[in-house]
Amino acid sequence: MFQHDRLNSEITLFQKIKNLDYILLISVIALSVISVFVMYSTDGGEILFHTKNHFVKLVVFFPLMIVVAFFNIKFWHNFSYIVYLLVIILLIYVSFFGIKASGSKRWMDVYFFVLQPSELMKIAIIMCLAKYYHRLKIENVNSFTSITIVLSIIFIPTIFVISQPDLGTSILIALSGLIILWLGGVKIKYFIYSFITFLISLPFIISFLKPYQKLRILTFLDPDRDPLGAGYQIIQSKIAIGSGGLNGKGFLKGTQSYLDFLPEKHTDFIFTLFSEEFGFIGSVILLILYSIIIFRIIRIGSISRSNFARLFCFGYAFAIFIYIVVNLSMVLGLLPIVGSPLPIMSYGGSSMLATMIGFGIVLSAKINHKQMIA
């Protein structure tokens, strides 16, 4: 009883371990292993800075995920608002005292690594909104007050992140929030109206974009207009992926990345390197792995008794999905270049930290799927 109280749970540790979702875990481990090998390839077939750090982060954050999973889902429900507020404070802190790099201020030094709070917001916003809709009476879902509150919850962090500036992450945060609105039952016609409004005001929005952001859109529409400048990344990425063919060029044999034609190969363009070396077959296998993860998260959501867990899982599954889609569409030349990492695969501590915490909460929902939350 004592033990149970401490862990805020009614089940034993043994049961918790037993109740972990092993399909999800194995898929995450498989992806992690792949990511280390790919990182090793970006380092030119040597264990250098990126490989080492990536490996260390996996070793640290994977147990963290298990720790998060062992907390009751109720605990995460209770702390959702606090987590959200904490991340907002971090965002404010960063906007004043953040580390500046390549023209944007989005990082802070937390002794052992450099934290990017906007990445954490991707999870925090799902938690916060899941709790809000969990508690909201269905009758009030479409009330003016609730929609105003919800939109504020979404737009406050989004504005902070945009002003860093970091368009990619802010879009992902906004989309992660909006999906909870959708799942929560906000009328479809509102979505349609806002979408139409968005389309109409698009020229207006574009006029507010920074010149480099406009350039990215122009470049996306026609990468060949400046093949050595703005269009370079996307052209080289397409060449790398296209030249991979069915089987790929082989591990450590991706000439595009090995010879430095590929920019940002550790982070946003990690899939390009993978696809060049492992080809169509490898890419499809990677996509299947991601699909399994998404499917498992949805499944965990659908067996959850509490709507908080359900909303969180469905929301998080969608978020993972949207990260993958945005990243892949970008490297495949289907979307303009917006900085967005590929979960687990890309180098970057904050992104991995957020992803692992997300998986942790999902696993907690699995362990405690019978848990009701008042």
Partner 1 sequence: MIKSNSGIRKTDVINRRMFIIGAAKVIVFVGIVARLFSLQINENKKYLTLSDKNRIREWKLPPTRGNIVDYFGNVIAGNLKVYQLHIIPEQVENFNYLLVRLKNLLNLSDKRIARINKLKAELKPWDSIIVSENLSWSQFVKINNYLYDLVGVKPVMTISRNYPFNDVYTHVLGYVSQPNEQEILDNQTIQERFVPGMKIGKLGLEKRLENHLIGTNAIQRYEVNAYGKRINQLEHQKGKQGSKIRLTVDTEIQKACGELLNEKAGSISVMDIYTGDIIAMYSSPSYDPNLFLFGISQDEWQLIRNNPLKPLINKTLSGLYSPGSTIKPIVALSALENKVIDTKFKVKCTGKMELYGQTFHCWKEKGHGWVSLKNAMKQSCDTYFYEVARLLGVDRLNITAEKFGLGKKVLGNYFDTEKKGLFPNTKWKKNNLGKGWVLGETLITGIGQGYIQTTPLQLCMMTAQIANGGYAVKPKIIVDSNPISYEDAKQSMESGLLFDTDTEELLDKKLFKNQKNIKIVQEAMFSSTNERFGTSYKSRIDDPKYQFAGKTGTAQVKRISKRERELDLELEQIPYKDRDHALYIAYGPYINPRYALSIIVEHGGSGSKAAAPIAKKLFKLIIDRHELRNKQSNFERITI
Does 275 interact with partner 1 (rule: CB under 8 A)?
Answer: yes
Residues with Cβ within 8 Å of 136's Cβ and at least 6 positions away in sequence, in order, are: 146, 184
Does 194 interact with partner 1 (rule: CB under 8 A)?
Answer: no
Binding to partner 1 (CB under 8 A): which residues in 124-163? 133, 137-139
Binding to partner 1 (CB under 8 A): which residues in 338-367? none
Interface residue with partner 1 among 61, 71, 318, 323 (CB under 8 A) is 318
- Given the rule CB under 8 A, which of 45-53, 65-73, 208-216, 276-284 is the region that contacts partner 1? 276-284
Interface residue with partner 1 among 75, 209, 243, 292 (CB under 8 A) is 243
What is the total count of residues that contact partner 1 (CB under 8 A)? 46
Pick between residue 168 and residue 282 the one whose CB is nearest to partner 1. 282
Does 242 interact with partner 1 (rule: CB under 8 A)?
Answer: yes
Interface residue with partner 1 among 20, 239, 252, 289 (CB under 8 A) is 239
Binding to partner 1 (CB under 8 A): which residues in 162-191? 179, 182-185
**Cα-trace Rg, the chain:** 21
- The residue written with tokens 């959708």 in the block is 182
Return d(Cα 300, Cα 313) in angstroms, integer: 7
Alpha helices by DSSP H, 71-116:
73-97
Q: How far is the CB of 96 from partner 1 (least distance, A)?
A: 37
Interface residue with partner 1 among 260, 285, 303, 370 (CB under 8 A) is 260
Interface residue with partner 1 among 294, 319, 345, 352 (CB under 8 A) is 294
Helix/strand/coil for 210: coil
Q: How far is the CB of 127 from partner 1 (least distance, A)?
A: 16
Return d(Cα 364, Cα 362) in angstroms, integer: 5
Note the residues at the interface with partner 1 (CB under 8 A): 133, 137-139, 179, 182-185, 236, 238-246, 255-256, 259-261, 275, 279-280, 283-284, 287, 291, 294, 298, 301-302, 307, 310-311, 314, 318, 321, 325, 328-329, 332, 334
